[in-house]
Structure 1
Amino acid sequence: MLVGDRAEHGGCTGHPDDYVLRSGRTLNADGGRIADARHHTAAFLDQAAQEHGLPVPAQTRDLTLLVVSELVTNARKYAPGPVRIELRISARTVEVAVSDTHTAVPAARPADPRRIGQHGLEIVKAVTEEFTVEQEPGGKRITARIPLIQEQRAGDAGTAPS
């Protein structure tokens, strides 16, 4: 459950999909809300690692901050009202949800390497394992799920355990 701008411990029962930590924050309408969202997210991930022992790989951290930046930037660009960011973390994933007051459902544009800008949604969809858009009264909620533990791919450096 979310409580204002504070994190709340989720009472994890040990199931990998149970949320260990949740946090929510409403961002001001000024230009600083993107930086505020990134700082809030970094502190959230630090808390998950330090207080709950969840390993947050550097790649997951970077991708989560990228997703937050892109979603909050789009909300700031298209929605006139406040933006709400909610973060959740389990043993498997980091979930980022951004709610805004714009009712239009965003759509990724067709790939065009000559296009300058407007690639944010393409990027978010490419780096997340799940992406959903839900319409809500007076706006929408975009949720992106980033895997917490990156699996080693065939051909990557390193050896598999014997």
Structure 2
Amino acid sequence: MDLAGHGEDQQPLAERSISVSAAFEGSEEIAAARDMARDFLESVQAVHGLPVSKRAMGMVQLVVSELVTNARKYAPGPCLLTLEIQQGTVEVTVWDSSTALPAILTPDPARVGQHGLEIVMAVCRSFKVCREPVGKRIKGAVVLADDPGGDAAGRQMM
């Protein structure tokens, strides 16, 4: 790597995509999806030198767990998980084969279950659901580094 941050491919480090993807088919693979997220963020920190707070590490694993669980529970076939570094965040994207959009329920502490998307929306900076020609993609972005003042970054809809 030269002083301008160029690697062998001569592309500046900040412009290179840092991402990982994997397909998951069974509910037993939800733990493997969380492990993949943890390993990816540890690599982002160790190899690429990007800061990842403990909060971000936990929140990304939580978002991955909730989104992959929903995909496995409500859609037939495999789901695809992609993690990508984008402008100080890790974007968590889960594709599944169902075109049915998820029901995003209003917070209700008396409701038992179905709080997954509520939690995801609360911890993500942004959240988006996109229908695809086949299935849908759900995206959430978690800020990698905590604000020096200790505040979590505000959420904005994409």
TM-score (norm 1): 0.81
Query: For the Cα contact (< 8 Å) 1:54–1:91, is it kept in 2?
Result: no
Number of residues of Structure 1 aligned to a counterpart in Structure 2: 143
- One-letter identity of the residue aligned with 2:22: R
**RMSD (CA atoms):** 2.1
Cα shift readout 1:28-53 (whole Å, capped 9, x = no counterpart) = x2222201101111111111111111
Query: For the Cα contact (< 8 Å) 1:11–1:20, is it kept in 2?
Result: no
1:53 aligns with 2:49: yes
Aligned to 1:13: 12
Aligned to 2:126: 130
4+ residue stretches of structure 1 with deviation over 4 A? Answer: none
Distance 1:115 1:11, change over 3 A: farther
Q: Runs of 5+ in structure 2 lacking a partner?
A: 1-8, 152-158
Aligned to 1:33: 29
Distance 1:45 1:11, change over 3 A: farther
Secondary structure of 1:143's aligned partner: strand
- One-letter identity of the residue aligned with 2:12: T
Structure-to-structure mapping, 1:12-161, within 5 angstroms: 13=12, 15=14, 18=15, 20-27=17-24, 29-90=25-86, 92-153=88-149
Query: For the Cα contact (< 8 Å) 1:87–1:95, is it kept in 2?
Result: yes
Greater displacement, 89-98 / 34-43: 89-98
Distance 1:73 1:12, change over 3 A: farther
- One-letter identity of the residue aligned with 1:21: I
Q: Runs of 5+ in structure 1 lacking a partner?
A: 1-9, 156-162
- Partners of 1:79 and 1:125 lie apart in 2 by 20
Query: For the Cα contact (< 8 Å) 1:132–1:144, is it kept in 2?
Result: yes
Query: For the Cα contact (< 8 Å) 1:20–1:91, is it kept in 2?
Result: no
Percentage of matched positions with identical amino acids: 43
Distance 1:56 1:154, change over 3 A: closer
- Partners of 2:51 and 2:11 lie apart in 1 by 16
TM-score (norm 2): 0.83
1:68 deviates by 0.2
Aligned to 1:4: none
Greater displacement, 145-154 / 129-138: 145-154
